[in-house]
Every structure is written in C-alpha cells, then in structure tokens.
Structure 1
Amino acid sequence: MTELGLSQDQLDMTFETAQEREGVYKPLEKQLSRENKAHLLDLMEQIHQPKLCALQEAIAKGLRDRGFTQVTTPSIISKTFLERMSIDSSHPLNEQVFWLSNKTCLRPMLAPNLYEVSRQLLKLGKTPVRVFEIGSCFRKETEGNAHLKEFTMVNLVEWGLPEEERVSRLKEYAALLMELAQVEDYHLEEEDSVVYGLGLDIVGSNGLELASSSMGPHPLDDLWEIDSSWVGIGSGLERLLMYRERQQGIHRYAKSTAFLDGARLNVK
C-alpha cells in the first residue's frame, strides 16, 4: 500500500476489528492501483518526462540564467581527491565509499571535482566564478525512507565574493534553489558539517534536511591551491521531490526499475 502512495494519515488509521480495517483498505488499494496505472499512462501519452528529469532541467536553467556555468565531471574519482576533502581511513564517511580499487572510487559527493574545475577556472583571473554540477553520487547508506545508495546531487559554488556578503549570498541562493524546486515551506538552520564546518541547512517543515551549505575560506582550500572567499550549496534532488510531493519514501523517485515518476511499475 505504501508503494502505491498511501499517505501517513491513512497509514495511521486505527480500527476496532480486522473486518473493519479490510473494509477500508481493500477499496482504497483498488483506488490507488487505478490512480497508479493512470499516472503511468499519462506519463507515456502526455508528459513523457519524469519529475526528476524535469527538476534537473529547471534547476540547471535557473542557475545558468543567474550566471552559473554548468560543468560535467566523472563519477569515478581518485583516492587522492577524497583525501584532499579530509576523507581518509579515519573519517566516518570513508566507510560509506564504494571503492573500485585501492586508488579509485565512485564519488560520494560532487565537491572534489568542483574544487578541481574551479581551481583551473580561477587561474583566468576573473571573479566571481560561479559553477554548478548536477550528477549521480554514491554512498553505502542504510536503506531508509530518506536515503539512497545512488542519488542525484546539485552542487553550486560561487568564488570571489566579499567575505562580508557570504551569509546573505547563501540565503539568496538557498531561496533561489527552493524556488526552482517549487518548495515553499522550509527554514534555515545553522549546522556544523563533518567536512566543511559551519554553514546553513535548508530544512523542511517536518524537520527533513533538504540541502546543506558552507562557506570559505576554509582549511580544505589550501589543498586545492585556492585562496578565495566562497559559498556553496548541495542538495539531493530525489529528497527534494519526496518532500515536495508529500511522499513517505524516497525510493519512488529514485533511479529505479521498480518505480517510474513516483508510480509503481508492477501494475496489477
């Protein structure tokens, strides 16, 4: 029933007898199955694009319109890049990394490659430098309602702004990202990241973290030969969709062969 989109309120209903419960849930299951099938047919005949793809396009266009340059970088990164992010064998995140060899892994975040691309672009001597990437990241996460082993990240960063403008710029870009994602009910909280230090989290009204941010100069910058003030925000798009669509689980919007655009593919 939850795979068909049963709401939390419906899940929380109580009944005095099993017969009473079946009298409510059986018709509800049939209704949800009809709606599930109708959504898939509508997707094939009218929409032709899952919400995850539409969200990627909307965010990419919105950021480009604001002067950010989109980049694409490899999903396979080096151990050296991770170590420059302070993720060595003693770091808690190291246990979540998908290692392909003793020197390479699937990236658990977009930041290492963005650091390297930004390092090269800053050599041009023109600031601010605004870049972003949207791509897959991989972590050995516990399969819960809000986590995926493969998820789609957006990471934006602006280099070379005055340090006194960092907090206001973070708030500006947080508002922009949520506007592009069509998320309205959220607030900002101060948070201390295990990698970047102090930043602002974007948090939904239910307490779900929707995005995290950070700012520099930061001690990590030296390892990338960067000397610049900056702000950055990262967010998982599947989690944004789950929150925006008021769903109980993230898997229905993941890259999947079981779900498509929130609908279950195993139609009965």
Structure 2
Amino acid sequence: MAIPTQATSPRASSEQPRTYAKRRPNVPAGLLSTVWLLIVMVPIYWVVITSFKSSAGYYRSNPMAPPVDPTLENYRLVIESDFALYFVNSVVISVGAVVPAVLMSFMCAFAIVRGGTGRYLRGVNAMFLMGLAIPLQATIIPVYLIIIQLGLYDTLRGLILPSMAFALPLTILILSNFIRDVPNELFESMRLDGATEWGTMWRLAFPLTKPALVTVTIYQALVVWNSFLLPLVLTQSPDKRVLPLALWSFQGQYSVNIPAVLASVILTTLPILVLYVIGRRQLLSGLTAGFTK
C-alpha cells in the first residue's frame, strides 16, 4: 500500500530556518579606524609622558620615548603657582554662567514652542537664531566697552554675563527641538487636570527634556571652561585669571617650560573628564535622541 506524501504548505516552508551568508570583515573600515585611533591617541600619549619629564630631560631625550626618571615636579610646580585660585575662578565662572543660561534657555524654549504662533514669539526666536551667526571675535570690542560702562571690568561678574549671553542661542535652539518632540496629548492631559503653564513646564517638559539639558550643560561648561579670549580682554589682575590664562605663568622671556605646561593642561582637563563620566549616559541619550523616532 502506497503511503501518500504530504504536500508542503507555504507556511511550513516559510518556517524553515533561514541561512544567512557569512559576513565578510570590512578590512578598509578596520584599517581606517585603527589609523584614526592612532591619530587621536598619539598626542594624548605625548602629553601624558611629557608631563612626567623634567624640563632639562625633555630636550635631551626622544619626545616620544617614556621618561627614564619620572618626576612629579611639574605637577608640584603647577599646584604651587596659584593653581587652586585659578581653578576656583574657572569653577565660579562656569557654574555662574552655565546654570542660569540653561535655565533661562529652557524657559525661553518652552515659551517659544508652547506660546503659539504670534509675531512677537517668532521675532524673539529669530533674534536668538541670529545670535548663532555672530562669532565672539566680532563682538569683543562692543562687549569690552559695555563691561567698562557697567563698572565690571576685571571682575568675575564681567566674565559671567557675556558667557551667559553667548550660551543662549544654541541652547535655546536645541531645547526648542526637544520640547517640540513632546506629544501634545501630554500637555492637553495636564491642562485638563488643572495644571498651569508654569506647572506643565516644570512637571512635564523639564523631566522629559533632561537628556537635552544634560547635553547642553556639558557642552556649554566645556566652552566656558576653555574660554580664553574673554578672560584675556576683560581681566587684568593675576587673581582674576582662569586656568587657560594660567598657562602663561610657565612661559619665560626666552623659553617655555613645556612639561609644566602639559601638566597644567592635564590638571585643567580632569574636571571636564569627571563631568563627562558623571553625565555620559544622559549625554549620549541626548545626542542620539531623535534617531529612533
């Protein structure tokens, strides 16, 4: 007796395991990535090893060779050269400029997005966007004259106010785009629950835009921390210097103490590195937000 064969249904055939072709390694991309890694790491390696060399030993040895007799003399010299004072000045200026600028930018962005389509709000938004096209170098003379007229020359407040002003345009632009991504139904539901615009801003928009807030905070803190032109023009006294200007302390009339300068660079970079480590998750989520929508 013949056994009838069962016909293979389309569904059964579709459930069979699929075989995928083995992926070939992307050799050119791997080589380019390795080259780029070397380009980035070689300067960092040179800065680190040079900071542990003596000033005389730096000129006698191969610049890329590790130090034969590592020393912490350069770091001791930097710390004893009023590094703590310059560090405190940089912290005061960075915190005093970035925190108010981010809060003001968040409130301005919320008003621009949730305030309707009035001509006044469109004009305010356009004014802030125009600020992105004006570089700091083009306004340094007017800023210098304004600070003198206000009696804030050679003070930390005279550095905080311009730093806040130049941080507003980009911060408002980024936060506005994040607030626009918040579903309108959430705002309507809070309004039906009796929440005011002020309560909606702080209870709904503020928590949902936290990745963007952390992103712009770290970015603006980095910009203010590394600022050189404003402190150079708006300050004069040695006790008002910030860390970028402190590098001048290791430049003589005829020579430069390169190991001490690089030790100062490392100590100046550490706070920003710590800030990145603390907020790296929020920073990455803020930078990649929108790609998965």
Where relative contact order (Cα < 8 A, 6+ residues apart) is larger, the structure is: 2
* TM-score range normalised by the length of the shorter chain: under 0.3
Bigger share in helix: 2
Larger radius of gyration: 2
Higher strand residue share: 1
TM (norm. structure 1) is 0.24
